[in-house]
A and B are shown apart, each in its own frame.
Chain A
Amino acid sequence: MTLTDNRLDGLDHDGGLDELEDEAITIIREVTAETRAPVLLFSGGKDSAVLLHLAAKAFRPGNLPFPVMHVDTGHNFDEVIEYRDRLVKEYNVRLVVASVQASIDAGRVVEDTGPRASRNRLQSVTLLDAIAEHQFDAAFGGGRRDEDKARAKERILSFRDRFGQWEPRAQRPEPWNMLNAKIRTGEHLRAFPLSNWTELDIWRYIGREEVPLPSIYFSHRRVVVERNGMLLSVGGPVVAEPGEVPFEETVRYRTVGDASCTGAVRSTAANVHDVITEVAAARITERGATRADDNFSDSAMEDRKREGYF
């Protein structure tokens, strides 16, 4: 029995999607009820798209009782910004934009220089500043435990101290998945309603619910350079280095992040069904395939989480 057989087999039946949806909606309602000023972090990526879809469902026919926040690195794909603004209108939600460029301009962070500089790490500071400025006490995120070995150890409700830091040894136990949202002034919570979802669950749910996504998730022609085994879109923050020859390729993105360090994969998957088939057959996790920032070291994700990264 191969992986592909295993995973494709699950496509014909619901495979627990209803249960995952019930669990996520229950978490979203509970955290909303137990906190004073929650916010939903929206990157324009597929996980946050599913999160927003679930949050809207949780309070129907009422409106979403909290705003969404986009941490804008300034290194965006145009398609993602267009998509973000369209969704905000469709769901009738209030959008807060936290700008990494503004953090740089204000001298809160210093940008790395050179052709490979990424703003992904700088997001932590901007995010924490925005949480403080708007006095949010809980932030919903699309993190999943299957993404990374450090995330596999994270609770549904993740406690952050006054410095926004995650301390894996001092996490609150969650017996029976009971959520304890009690915090003191200056502390805040991250809530992960998609904790128990896998990448395949996300895609199957997107297919079932017809959740809209940015077009870059599906195959298109794009000019790229190949760097460290990843295909980076040329233009914007990525500049071809000496010896790199840009070429046009049929690609799609598996994650949406800072354009400087999010790689595309060769793919002809043009719709959700194609993508599900591709994901089911994939041999590399999505972060490993497309995120240069996680490949810095074996503990890259853990280090950034401790700093306050999502």
Chain B
Amino acid sequence: MVLRIATAGSVDDGKSTLIGRLLHDTKTVFEDQLASVEKASLRYGDGSLNLALLTDGLRAEREQGITIDVAYRYFATPERTFVVADTPGHAQYTRNMVTGASVSDVAIVLVDARNGLTEQTRRHLFVASLLGVKQVMLAVNKMDLVDFSQDRYDEIVAAARAHATALPAPVALNPLPISALLGDNVVDSSDNMPWYTGPSLLRQLETLELDDDHSIGARLSVQWVIRPYSTEHHDFRGLAGRLTGGTVAIGDRVRVLPGAQQSTIVSIERGGVPQETAEPGEAISIQLADDIDISRGDVVVTVAAPKPPVVADQIVADVSWMVDKPLEVGTRWIIKHLTRTAKAFVSAIETRHDVSTASQHSTERLELNDLGRVHLNVSVPLVVDLYDDHRPGGAAILVDEATGMTCGALMIRGFDGLES
């Protein structure tokens, strides 16, 4: 199984060095990449091999010694395949961390052992919690610079545990002391910290158990209707999309939302190959017994779904705001939810989340990197889930009508349903 990891830390906490270390010590780095890093180390650094340059790929990043954008890295061990979203710690950090965390199973939050918990550490823990990342590896880095002190480590872990109790949703903290620069407890265990008896970061990532999504019932948001119009497949009408939430089988009764029509699945194909059933995550097409009006944006849900989605045109959502232009009450945006695109009107801003103290403040507007809770009126009914029940059906983005820029990431927390 693939484990998706988001990394987060403040500037200079050593994220890129840690990822460079993971790639290097798992022998994922190729000779020419290493040669290129050696060459770049001479140009941009003090000449010693700078593993951060493995991930800081853009010229501006190398010149300034910072990470600008989310970078994706891939490595594998015999136990597991890993995808790492390396998210920057400076300006636009919240936007980037939200993006990284939204597709991750686990977050690695780095803390500089000299500085302890910073406002940014608290911010990262808050974002992980808000985005539903249930497992956090709290990597207390640069232990070599605090003489590998157990007291210092314990102090930081205690502070993090205290903060974790104030988060919006529970997060499992897995702390460990490391030195990304020297490699202590990253891939191999450390000789410098005999007081730490737990496994290394990589060993923990290899064995981390994730909660399986308990089934809420299958849904298929229709992306495309396949109509070949050929003699051979004259009547074929395949509803194409990615299945989520549960399994389907030929013969299952389904509803087509937001309408009220029902039908029965008569065929399932994956890549053009017929199959009897389909699992969550599979990109399939299905045919229904009845010739009912279905188009892109409609959602096919099994009648037997234990927790079906709700049809709603008023939504309460947490939002991560990602652009300079502020989100204000009374403004209008394009909303994209599953495969439906509509207009959304901001009817109220309930609060701005103070991420460092995990408290709330009333506000008229949300600015770049703010997190808050908003109320939206949508121009057409959406088929929604609560984000904590089902990420795909509970997530949406807001797009600027004028520029086309993606401005906000939404996590649906409530709705005023037309039907439930």
Contacts and interface: CB of A to CB of B under 8 A. Distances in A.
A177 interface: yes
A29 interface: yes
Given A26-B283, A176-B392, A299-B59, A6 B26 contact: yes
Interface in B205-230: 223-224, 226-230
B40 interface: yes
Contacts of B172: none
Interface in B251-280: 269, 271-272
A30 B74 contact: no
A251 to B, nearest CB: 19
Contacts of B32: 284-285, 288-289
A3 B228 contact: no
Interface size class of B (residues with CB under 8 A): 35 or more
Interface in B372-420: 391-392, 395-397, 399, 404-406, 409
Nearest to B67: A153
Contact of A19 (B2, B54, B229): B2
Contacts of B229: 62
B121 to A, nearest CB: 22
Contacts of A21: 271, 283
Contact of B71 (A58, A153, A172): A153
Given A61-B228, A180-B397, A153 B58 contact: yes
A67 interface: no
23 contacts: A5-B78, A10-B81, A19-B281, A22-B242, A26-B223, A26-B241, A32-B224, A57-B271, A59-B240, A60-B272, A62-B226, A152-B55, A152-B73, A153-B69, A172-B405, A173-B95, A175-B99, A176-B103, A180-B404, A183-B404, A288-B30, A289-B32, A302-B57
A168 B349 CA distance: 31
Interface centre among B68, B73, B96, B99 (most CB of A within 10 A): B99
Contacts of A174: 99, 406
Given A26-B242, A60-B271, A61-B228, A153 B57 contact: yes
Contacts of B59: 298-299, 302
Given A58-B271, A159-B404, A175-B99, 13 more contacts: A6-B26, A6-B27, A23-B283, A25-B271, A29-B241, A58-B240, A60-B272, A61-B230, A61-B233, A148-B57, A174-B99, A282-B30, A288-B30
Contacts of A288: 30-33, 36
Nearest to A159: B404
B72 interface: yes
Interface string B306-347: 000000000000001010000000000010100100000000
A84 to B, nearest CB: 23
B236 interface: yes
Specify the main secondary structure of chain B where it touches its partner: mixed
Interface residues on A, range: 35 or more
Contacts of A129: none
Interface of A: 1-3, 5-7, 9-10, 15-16, 18-19, 21-23, 25-26, 29-30, 32-33, 57-63, 145-146, 148-150, 152-153, 159, 168-169, 171-178, 180, 182-184, 187, 195-196, 198, 282-285, 288-289, 298-299, 302
B39 interface: yes
B70 interface: yes
Interface in B58-102: 58-60, 62, 68-74, 76-78, 81, 83, 95-96, 98-99, 102
A6 B58 contact: no
Contact of A180 (B28, B62, B269, B406): B406
A32 B43 CA distance: 44
A284 B283 contact: no
Nearest to A297: B59
A284 B336 contact: no
B324 to A, nearest CB: 11
A40 B74 CA distance: 26
Nearest to A201: B74
B152 interface: no
Interface string B36-50: 100110010000000
Contacts of B68: 153, 168-169
B282 interface: yes
Contacts of B293: none
A9 B36 CA distance: 28
A306 to B, nearest CB: 10
B242 A173 contact: no
